[in-house]
């Protein structure tokens, strides 16, 4: 796959940093001839070099993928910067903060889930840099998301501002953003915690968590239906990211207010995902493989990132083993020329884009975080 040249020049010190991690990180040698990084962080460094070739400085976004995917690519870059103890990407975060608003000012658009991804990305950027602009932006985005809440189906926010569908991902993101903000803005902590609890009470009773412990896509359908039909679990796919974002939100909520019922639900969902959405080798798969479109390529990395967050709140060896297994499979079985990663983590490599690359990096960076004891 031909990649456009990077539009963002790395500082000389940054090039040497990556060289120290991965030898020739951008090499195109046959797999058996490549230098073999000995740590997960070194593997991640090689993959980040490839990811950044898709970064467009003028737009602040990643070419070859969509708007919300860029928020997730930025998040994995932030997490990599944290685990590798580098600040060389601070300029990338600042550039995206300014340039991406040319696409959607204030990171607001028609879809509440899109907004949630950007809110979480800016919270993560704030945690790393302590730049208050990022936290303020996340709070502004959350205020817009809260406008999507109404009494239809007893509560919850809509997927989009068309108000035709209440689904899992928008509400899980709303929960996660609220819980994260409650921990970071002490002056408004009670208000954000109130929203997090309100959302969780509604979500836990919505029926979207099915009898197997997995989260279905949403309630009703996006087409015309009666109110009664609208408010039932629609039985649609149990996407991996729907399991993950819930875990990340509950991890943050459990730190604010320990609650046995929260832990029980999160453990049930986590165990269902790592046992039922995998192959016989424990490698995670999306039901749409190998044709997942622009959205589905992103989902698995989001799951692993959030499972890692839940593991930090409630450690369990099975979660850590799952993360390491998937990171190793990506590196050994799903790697193409130039340290590119594909959609199917069990392999073989079948091409990549920024969404698939950042998704795979979520797993490798998560393994690096575990490796370093974070």
Q: How many residues does the chain have?
A: 374
Query: According to the model, what pLDDT value does residue 221 have?
Result: 72
> Residue 236's closest CA among 207, 267, 263, 266?
207
CA dist 315 → 191, 192, 373 (Å)? 29, 26, 12
341 strand-pairing partners: 335
12-371 topology per CATH: Glycosyltransferase (1.50.10)
Does the global pTM surpass 0.75? yes
Per DSSP, what are the bridge partners of residue 62?
55
For 67-112, the pLDDT digits (tens) are 999 999 999 999 999 999 999 999 999 999 999 999 999 999 999 9
CA distance 4 to 135: 32
Rounded Cα–Cα distance for residues 234 and 218 (Å): 6
Tell me the per-residue pLDDT of 297-344, one tens digit each, with 9 for 90 and over: 999 999 999 999 999 999 999 999 999 999 999 999 999 999 999 999
Helix, strand, coil share (%) of the chain residues, nearest 5: 60, 5, 35
């Amino acid at each position: 796959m031909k990649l456009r040249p990077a539009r963002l020049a790395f500082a000389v010190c940054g090039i040497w940093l990556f060289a120290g991690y991965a030898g020739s990180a951008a090499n195109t040698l046959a797999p058996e001839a490549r230098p073999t990084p000995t740590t997960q962080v070194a593997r991640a460094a090689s993959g980040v070099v490839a990811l950044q070739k898709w970064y467009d400085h003028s737009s602040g976004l990643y070419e070859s993928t969509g708007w919300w995917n860029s928020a997730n690519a930025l998040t994995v870059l932030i997490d990599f910067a944290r685990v590798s103890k580098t600040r060389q990407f601070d300029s990338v975060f600042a550039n995206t903060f300014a340039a991406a608003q040319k696409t959607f000012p204030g990171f607001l658009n028609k879809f509440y889930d899109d907004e949630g991804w950007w809110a979480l990305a800016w919270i993560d950027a704030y945690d790393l840099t302590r730049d208050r602009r990022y936290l303020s932006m996340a709070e502004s985005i959350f205020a817009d998301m809260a406008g999507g809440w109404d009494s239809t189906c007893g509560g919850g926010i809509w997927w989009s501002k068309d108000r035709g569908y209440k689904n899992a991902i928008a509400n899980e993101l709303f929960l996660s953003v609220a819980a994260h903000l409650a921990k970071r803005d002490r002056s408004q902590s009670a208000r954000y915690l109130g929203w997090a609890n309100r959302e969780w009470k509604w979500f836990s009773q919505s029926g979207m968590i099915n009898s197997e412990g997995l989260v279905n896509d949403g309630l009703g359908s996006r087409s015309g239906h009666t109110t009664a039909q609208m408010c039932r679990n629609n039985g649609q796919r149990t996407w991996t990211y729907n399991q993950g974002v819930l875990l990340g939100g509950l991890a943050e909520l459990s730190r604010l207010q320990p609650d046995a019922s929260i832990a029980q639900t999160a453990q049930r969902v986590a165990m269902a995902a790592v046992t039922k959405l995998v192959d016989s080798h424990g490698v995670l798969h999306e039901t749409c493989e190998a044709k997942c479109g622009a959205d589905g390529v992103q989902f698995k990395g989001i799951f692993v990132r959030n499972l890692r967050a839940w593991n930090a709140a409630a450690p369990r060896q099975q979660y850590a083993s799952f993360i390491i297994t998937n990171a190793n499979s990506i590196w050994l079985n799903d790697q193409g020329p130039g340290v590119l990663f594909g959609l199917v983590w069990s392999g073989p490599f079948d091409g990549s884009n920024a969404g698939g690359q950042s998704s795979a990096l979520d797993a490798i960076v998560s393994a690096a975080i575990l490796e370093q004891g974070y």
